[in-house]
Amino acid sequence: MADPYLRLDQLEVTFTGGRSPVRAVNGVDLTVDSGETVALIGESGSGKSVTLRAILRLNPEKKTRIGGKVTVGGRDVMGLGNKALAQFRGGEVAMIFQEPLLALDPVYTLGDQITEAIRRHEPISKADARKRALSLFERVRIPSPERRLDTYPHEMSGGMRQRAMIALALACNPKVLLADEPTTALDATVQIQILLLLRELQREFGLSIIFVTHDLGAAVEVADRIAVMYAGRIVEEGSARDIIHTPRHPYTIGLLKSRAHGAMTKGRRLDAIAGSPPDLADLPKGCAFAARCTLATDPCRQTQPELIQTETGTRARCLRTDQTLTRPGELVGA
Amino acid sequence: MLRYLVYRVVYAIPILLGVALVCFALVHISPGDPLISVLPADASVELQQRLLVIYGFDRSYPEQFILWLGRALSGDLGTSIASGRPVATEVFRAVGNTLLLAAVATVIGFFLGCLFGFVAGYFSNSWVDKAASTLAVLGVSVPHYWLGMVLVIIFSAQLGWLPATGAGPGGSGQWKWDWVHFQFLILPAVTMSVIPMGIVARTVRALVADILAQDFVTGLRAKGLGDLGVFFHVVKNAAPTALAVMGLQLGYLLGGSILIETVFSWPGTGMLLNTAIFQRDLPLLQGTILVLALFFVFLNLLVDVVQTALDPRIQRS
């Protein structure tokens, strides 16, 4: 079997700007094959977006310490020089953001922003770049694309803006698409359209996608595999099916239980995970989830659990997996 | 765009009328007798009456206003009481000198202001930022007539490098583009540039720091743009607001500074106003204020139009 196209080895990201260093990512191992979609899920501050940005080295360099290795297409990303890095960004790995209104330059037309990206990577004429931008707009199904190329971000609806952002990301035929909560800012019907579009484009271009979200429903919709992050670590990882049906980490189980899926009985309380995530500037010695976990014992608080293979398919960073087997259909309504 | 332009120009007309009215009213509600400076102390009542009629001060205020406005529209701003020369001639000669001073001060102030602002914004919270910001705050807060005097003391009195006052050798007031004349311009221009420099620097710094913290800059980097590429985007994003501030500053500079022009005896509008006020020369005062106010209206119009052309988010309706 060939090496995975994208590989994170013990990725660590520490922000050193504040009074005490904040350890946002603490040893993340992740592989993504060509044409595979992996969803990174977790709550705010779990380190998923920071992980994504680290792949493109987008975290502010002066205030960030990065450890571990990022390999994309056989190249060590941390070792890239300025020129190679600029070529790599957008050319090999592209990114789409949560809120396209903020992530697009407000005073340039969409067409100009796309042609700028294309001409940054390839020596082609303005007219040719514009033709390509037009076909990209058609590809992401923006109505009257010719006219839309000359509009500014604020003149479009949220869904159209996200489509334009996807067109921009695909402008230089990247191999990997990093999607940072691309549907969070959109309303529900538009979310589905964008997810379907992403899946379609992924098949057509053979893209690898890392999809960051806190919405399990969206993750299941697009992902082959799901990795659950907590306090800067991947706590459970497996195929989308296994994660949804037979999760073994108490945190994943808690996330699934806290979803209001289907018709909830009136008067029933929503199962929420008690407590709040740990302070990333002062992480506990043992399992970071132990303080909120009903199954936690002394060993949990003393040692950092390793990622272990469970018999139900997922790999979980937990010492108590013997206690976490759920009945089929208990978590996801049959 | 053309429709917007026409709309803005038409919109400026009532403003101009209002400005004219305020100019007129301001001068007339201020206390004092305008003829006191030309009349001998022992002037007879008849002479006083005759002069009142000659200058039109005997008519009612609305009448005076209409007459004055009508003449002003045809370019006749009346006759200076003190000098007996047409106000228009006096004002436009002064305007020329003020424009010259303002233009040089603007170039210095805006260039340094943008430079400091960009450097401080890019390295916000570093020592470079703090140094540039301190300089900017000093620029805004130092009283400029005081700075002018200090500069005169150092460069004219102590070092003897530059002339202290006037707009040319021998107090000629006739400007020529040569080094001898240019020397007279340096100190007042530098003094005058300090305030716009400080204001522009602070504005640009805040803009740049704010823009750099926005998501789209990450987006630009993510698509492969280098520092220079990002810089162009920052400039275009900062331009509309920066230009608005600069336009306002340019307005102040063109208005001339009474204090600076007086300190350096620079024969511009500021000094003209000063003279007109002390001599109670109503026609001259009115005319000068009107011309300066028109400048402001025109500049605001210009800034609005340029801003609209640069920032697509401003509605063109």
Are A105 and B220 an interchain contact pair (Cβ–Cβ within 8 Å)? yes
Task: List the end-to-end C-alpha distance of chain B, in Å, as a whole number.
Answer: 9
Question: Contact B216/A104 with Cβ under 8 angstroms?
Answer: yes
Torsion angle, alpha carbons of B284, B285, B291, B295, to 10: 150
Question: What is the model's pLDDT at position A70?
Answer: 92
Question: What is the model's pLDDT at position A179?
Answer: 92
B12: which 2 tokens?
């400026």
| Closest C-alpha among A169, A212, A133 to residue B223 | A169
Contacting residues of B for A90, CB less than 8 Å apart:
222-224
Question: What is the model's pLDDT at position B303?
Answer: 78
Question: What is the model's pLDDT at position A1?
Answer: 47
Question: What is the model's pLDDT at position B164?
Answer: 72
Q: How far apart are CA A138 and CA A146, in angstroms?
A: 9
Q: Is A11 helix (H, G, I), strand (E, B) or coil?
A: strand
B125: which 2 tokens?
């919270």
Question: What is the model's pLDDT at position A262?
Answer: 52
Which residue does chain B place closest to A171, by CA atoms? B223
3-state percent breakdown (helix, strand, coil) of chain A, nearest 5:
35, 20, 40
Residue B267's identity, in one-letter code, is: P
Cα–Cα distances in angstroms (integers) from residue A199 to residues A173, A203, A220, A271, B184, in the given order: 16, 6, 12, 31, 72
Question: What is the model's pLDDT at position A265?
Answer: 64
Question: What is the model's pLDDT at position B33?
Answer: 66
Average confidence (pLDDT) over B16-39 = 76
CB-CB: which of B223, B224, B313 is closest to A106?
Answer: B313
Residue A331: φ, ψ to 5°: -95, -45
Which residue does chain B place closest to A177, by CA atoms? B222
Q: How far is B109 from chain A (nearest CA, A)?
A: 26
Q: Which CATH architecture is the domain A6-223 placed in? A: 3-Layer(aba) Sandwich (3.40)
Q: Does A172 touch chain B (CB under 8 A)?
A: yes
Q: How far apart are CA B98 and CA B96, in angstroms?
A: 6
Average confidence (pLDDT) over A315-324 = 85
Are A82 and B224 an interchain contact pair (Cβ–Cβ within 8 Å)? no
Q: With 70 as the cut, is the pLDDT of residue A285 above it?
A: yes
pLDDT band at B256 (very low <50, low <70, confident <90, very high): low
For residue B102, what is the enclosing H or E element? helix B87-122
CATH number of B87-310: 1.10.3720.10
Average pLDDT, chain A: 87
Length of chain A: 334
Question: What is the model's pLDDT at position A334?
Answer: 39
Q: Which of A115, A116, A118 to mutate to test the interface with B (most CBs of B within 10 A)?
A: A116
Number of Cβ within a 10 Å radius of residue B228: 7
Are B220 and A152 an interchain contact pair (Cβ–Cβ within 8 Å)? no
CB-CB: which of A86, A97, A152 is closest to B219?
Answer: A97
pLDDT band at B317 (very low <50, low <70, confident <90, very high): very low
DSSP state of A26: E
Question: Contact B178/A67 with Cβ under 8 angstroms?
Answer: no
pLDDT band at A268 (very low <50, low <70, confident <90, very high): low
Contacting residues of A for B236, CB less than 8 Å apart:
105, 107-108
For residue A291, what is the enclosing H or E element? none
Which residue does chain B place closest to A173, by CA atoms? B223
- Domain chopping of chain A, boundaries: 6-223, 230-260+272-323
Sheet containing A22-32: give its strands across: A22-32, A6-15, A64-72, A75-76
Checking ipTM against 0.90, whether it exceeds it is: no
The least confident of B111-125, B193-207, B292-306 is B292-306
Are A89 and B312 an interchain contact pair (Cβ–Cβ within 8 Å)? no
Which residue does chain B place closest to A53, by CA atoms? B222
For residue A283, what is the enclosing H or E element? none
pLDDT per residue as tens digits for the range B274-289: 888 888 787 888 888 8
pLDDT per residue as tens digits for the range B36-80: 666 777 777 787 788 777 777 777 888 888 888 888 888 787 777
Q: Is A224 helix (H, G, I), strand (E, B) or coil?
A: coil
Please enumerate in sequence order all residues whose Cβ is within 8 A of that of B208, keeping only pairs 6 or more positions apart, or say none: B117, B118, B120, B121, B122, B124, B234, B238
3-state percent breakdown (helix, strand, coil) of chain B, nearest 5:
75, 0, 25
Label the pairing between strands A176-180 and A225-230: unpaired
Question: What is the model's pLDDT at position A6?
Answer: 92
Question: What is the model's pLDDT at position A230?
Answer: 92
pLDDT per residue as tens digits for the range A243-261: 988 888 999 988 888 875 5
Q: Does A148 touch chain B (CB under 8 A)?
A: no
DSSP state of B279: T
Q: Which residue has the higher pLDDT, A45 or A229?
A: A229
Q: Is A226 helix (H, G, I), strand (E, B) or coil?
A: strand
Cα–Cα distances in angstroms (integers) from residue A163 to residues A136, A138, B214, in the given order: 10, 10, 21
Q: How far is B106 from chain A (nearest CA, A)?
A: 27
Map tokens 């390793």 to a residue. Answer: A306
The least confident of A30-44, A91-105, A109-123, B288-302 is B288-302
Contacting residues of A for B216, CB less than 8 Å apart:
102-106
Q: How far is B310 from chain A (nearest CA, A)?
A: 8
Question: What is the model's pLDDT at position A332?
Answer: 66
pLDDT band at A89 (very low <50, low <70, confident <90, very high): very high
Question: What is the model's pLDDT at position A14?
Answer: 92
Contacting residues of A for B214, CB less than 8 Å apart:
102
CB-CB: which of A103, A117, A154 is closest to B224?
Answer: A117
| Closest C-alpha among A315, A316, A319 to residue A301 | A319
Question: What is the model's pLDDT at position A273?
Answer: 82
Question: What is the model's pLDDT at position A328?
Answer: 65
Angle, alpha carbons B170-B172-B175 (nearest 5°)? 120
Residue B265's identity, in one-letter code, is: S
Which residue does chain A place closest to B236, by CA atoms? A107
CB-CB: which of B219, B225, B236 is closest to A103?
Answer: B219
Q: With 90 as the cut, is the pLDDT of residue B157 above it?
A: no
